[in-house]
Amino acid sequence: MAVRKDATLRPRIMLIWVADSYRRHGVGATLVQALADDFGCRIADVSWSNPISGGGRRRLARRVSPEGVWVS
């Protein structure tokens, strides 16, 4: 995976936690979309804070942003 860097100001997700019984129901994706909407950007422009769990990267970040994931 190529690493690209730029100086664009991006909203960053530090932590998203969804209760087990609500996972895979779109709650996390809705939270990410709300952040992007509030910031006035696309989901693809949202940055994810490191460390990001494997599940978070695979199941949420890449699903809502198939173009790629910014990790900061």
Domain assignment of residue 59, yes or no: yes
In whole angstroms, what is the distance from residue 18 CA to residue 65 CA?
A: 18
Domain assignment of residue 50, yes or no: yes
Q: Are 43 and 37 in contact (CB under 8 A)?
A: no
Question: How many distinct structural domains can be found in the chain?
Answer: 1
Note the pLDDT of residue 54. 79
Show the domain range for 28: 12-71
pLDDT per residue over 2-45, tens digit each?
566 777 788 999 988 889 999 889 999 999 999 999 999 999 99
How many other C-beta atoms lie within 10 A of the C-beta of residue 29? 17
pTM, entire model = 0.80
Rounded alpha-carbon distances, angstroms, from residue 44 to 19, 21, 22, 35: 24, 27, 23, 12
pLDDT at position 1 over 70: no
- 51-59 — which CB contacts under 8 Å span 24+ positions? 56/16, 59/24
